[in-house]
Amino acid sequence: MKLTILGYHSATPRANANPSSQILEIRNHLFLIDCGEGTQVQLRKFKISFSKIKHIFISHLHGDHVFGLIGLISTFRLLGRTSDLTIHGPKGIKELIEVQLKLSQSKIDYQLIFNELTGDKSQIVFEDNTVKVASIPLNHRIYTNGFLFSEKPSERRLNAPAAREAQIDKAYFSKLKQGFDVINEVGQLVTNEEVTFDPPKTKSYAYCSDTAYHPTIVPLIHGVDCLYHESTFLNEDEELADKTLHSTARQAAEIAKLANVSQLILGHFSSRYDEENHFLLEAKDVFGMTFLAENGKEFVW
């Protein structure tokens, strides 16, 4: 999996501070997560293929997570997009977009599909052969979901020399990759384990923004390879975090530790702090494998 940070600041866009947006790449599929104002310019800046984005996941309807969506949808139209686009997000997102399309008299030529979420329990949001995406109900001032991306096992890998040695016809190779035993050219049974390797370990990613400290999510995200968790505030402003239903860096790290994740990325920083490194120091006190989101930074695992 490869995660590219397009924006990671809270509240208002500024000259070098874009609001929340990320691209997650899983086996050549691109998933856009949140879409603050200016996201389409960030996509261009980091040379990310517009046409490979077929699914967009919106956590909640606060502006810093969604105000860039109508512009992106319009730009797709202007670029002559033909392939379907599915928007997964809270109930209301369909109205949000459709009113704007109606008032600007814009006809979308591609299929625009809305998958509106309403549940307060984790549910499957999207699933195909590559990935399963589940919602992570969060605790914020407005209905909000994080998203858990779990890669599905890919095919077994062929041990080509062993397969040749075992005199297996190439026509059977795809069967082997699917895990079946086969009969070789001299009529003997060859078990799958003899001529294949296990597929690569499946990967996972959890996106949790925006939310108060909410340990209820721990079982859902337990053991993920990478967790993005908002940390709008520092511990010194914990009261403010409580009041606005956001988290501190320390709280984000507590969640990472409780969930035993492999690495934690912090973001959604308030503009009240000049020094983002303070978020890192505070979180690392609790959870060592912590990193800061940065503009255009790629995380690969």
The residue within the footprint of a copy of itself, chosen from 27, 49, 51, 63 (CB under 8 A), is 63
Distance of closest approach, residue 155 Cβ to a copy of itself, in angstroms: 39
Alpha-carbon Rg for the chain, nearest whole angstrom, is 22
CB nearer to a copy of itself: pick between 39 and 204: 39
- Report the residue number, 78 or 189, with the smaller CB distance to a copy of itself: 78
Interface of this chain with a copy of itself, residues 67 to 86, rule: CB under 8 A = 67-68, 70-71, 74-75, 78-79
Residue keyed to tokens 């998933």: 31
Task: Check if the beta carbon of residue 24 is closer than 8 Å to that of residue 43.
Answer: no
Q: Contact, 30 vs 1, CB < 8 A?
A: no
Stretch that binds a copy of itself, among 38-46, 161-169, 201-209, 285-293 (CB under 8 A): 38-46
For residue 172, the one-letter residue type is Y
CB of 148 vs a copy of itself, minimal distance in Å: 24
Residues 58, 209 contacting (CB under 8 angstroms): no
CA-nearest of 62, 70, 101, 88 to 211 is: 62
User: Does 240 interact with a copy of itself (rule: CB under 8 A)?
Assistant: no
Contact 25, 5 (CB under 8 A): no
Q: Which is nearer to a copy of itself, 40 or 196 (CB)?
A: 40
Strand 298-300: give its sheet, edge to edge: 112-117, 85-90, 53-57, 29-35, 21-26, 2-7, 298-300
**Which residue in the set 29, 86, 92, 177 belongs to the binding site for a copy of itself (CB under 8 A)?**
92
Q: How far is the CB of 14 from a copy of itself (least distance, A)?
A: 6
Q: Which of 2, 25, 29, 106 binds a copy of itself (CB under 8 A)?
A: 106
Report the 10 Å Cβ neighbour count for 278.
15
Smaller CB separation from a copy of itself, 101 or 289 = 101
DSSP per residue over 228-293, as a string?
EEE--B-GGGHHHHHHHT--BHHHHHHHHHHTT-S-EEEE-B-TT-S-THHHHHHHHTT-SSEEE-
| 120 is a catalytic site residue | no
Give the per-residue contact string, 262-301, with a copy of itself (x = CB under 8 A; - = no): ----------------------------------------
Residue 171 lies near a copy of itself (rule: CB under 8 A): no
Q: Could you tell me the smallest distance in angstroms from the CB atom of residue 105 to a copy of itself?
A: 5
SS (H, E, C) 53-103: EEEEECCCCCHHHHCCHHHHHHHHHHCCCCCCEEEEEECCHHHHHHHHHHH
Per CB under 8 A, does 103 bind a copy of itself?
yes
Bridge-based pairing state of the strands 2-7 and 21-26: antiparallel
- Give residues 111-150 in contact with a copy of itself (rule: CB under 8 A): 141-142
> Minimal distance in Å, beta carbon 154 to a copy of itself?
35
Q: How far is the CB of 164 from a copy of itself (least distance, A)?
A: 51
Closest CA to 148 of 202, 201, 231, 208: 208
List of residues contacting a copy of itself (CB under 8 A): 11-15, 37-38, 40-41, 44-45, 61-63, 66-68, 70-71, 74-75, 78-79, 92-93, 95-96, 99-100, 103-106, 141-142
Q: Which residues are catalytic?
A: 64
